[in-house]
Structure 1
C-alpha cells in the first residue's frame, strides 16, 4: 500500500513539475529559474537536505534547455575564456543594464573600459566596493 502511495505522489508531482522539468519555451525557462531560486533560498546547505534532488532536477532541466540555445552557448564559451573578474563584471553590467559610467566603484568610464579590455586590473578597493554594491563575496572576482 505504501509503495502505491509513493507512485501516486510521484505522478502528482510530475504532473505539476512537467513544464519545469521538460522546458520548451522561454516562459517555462524563466519559471524554472525562478523556482530554482526559491528552492535554493529555502534549502539548507547540507548534503542530506531533502530539497537536493529537486535542485538537481531543476538544474539539469535548465542546463538541457540552455545547451540548445546557440547564442547563449556562444556567450558562455566567450565568458569562459575571459578572466573571472572581467567575466563577472560584464555579467553584472548586462544583468543590471549598466554602462561604464554606472560603475563609479571602478572609476570613470575610461577606466571601466580599460578594465573590460584587460589593460587595467580591478583594484582591491574596487572589488570591495563592487562586492558590497552587488552583495557578492569578493572571492567571486577571482574565479574558482
Structure 2
C-alpha cells in the first residue's frame, strides 16, 4: 500500500476512487476500515471543491419529483386538495408555495426541507 496523500489532480482522484472501491466493505476498526474512512474524507473534500452540486430550487425539486413519480398537475391537485389552477400557477412561477403546500411536498413527496426552504 502506498502512503496516503492529498488529492490534487484528476489522476489522484481516480486512483483514490479505485482504492476506495477496493476497501468499500471493510469492517470498522481494521486497517482497511481506517483506510476507507481516510479515503472517504479525502474524496469528499476534493469533490466539494471540484464537483460541488448546487441544490435545486423548490420549484425545480417539485417538477423533478413530479417527473420521477409520474405525477400530473391533476394528481397534485387531488392529492393536496387544491385547485388545478393553483397548482398551475405554482408550477409556472406565478404563485408562491404556501407553508402548508411545502409541508405536503416534504411529507408526501419526500422533498428535503433544506431544498424547500432555500
Question: How does the TM-score come out when normalised to structure 1?
Answer: 0.44
Matched positions, count: 92
Aligned-CA RMSD value = 4.1
Give 1:14-33 correspondences, 5 Å limit: 14=15, 17=18
Cα separation, 2, equivalents of 1:97 and 1:53: 38
Structure 1: gaps spanning 5 or more residues: 8-12, 19-34, 39-48, 64-75
Q: Could you say which residue in structure 2 is the equivalent of 1:125?
A: 100
Of 48, 54, 63 in structure 2, the residue corresponding to residue 90 of structure 1 is 63
Cα separation, 2, equivalents of 1:91 and 1:120: 18
Cα separation, 1, equivalents of 2:105 and 2:85: 17
Q: Larger RCO: Structure 1 or Structure 2 (Cα < 8 Å, ≥ 6 residues apart)?
A: 2
Of 3, 6, 10 in structure 1, the residue corresponding to residue 2 of structure 2 is 6
Cα separation, 2, equivalents of 1:57 and 1:96: 33
Larger Rg, first or second structure (1 or 2): 2
Question: How does the TM-score come out when normalised to structure 2?
Answer: 0.51
- Write 1 or 2 for the structure with the bigger share of helix: 1
Structure 2: gaps spanning 5 or more residues: 4-13, 25-36
Cα separation, 2, equivalents of 1:135 and 1:106: 18
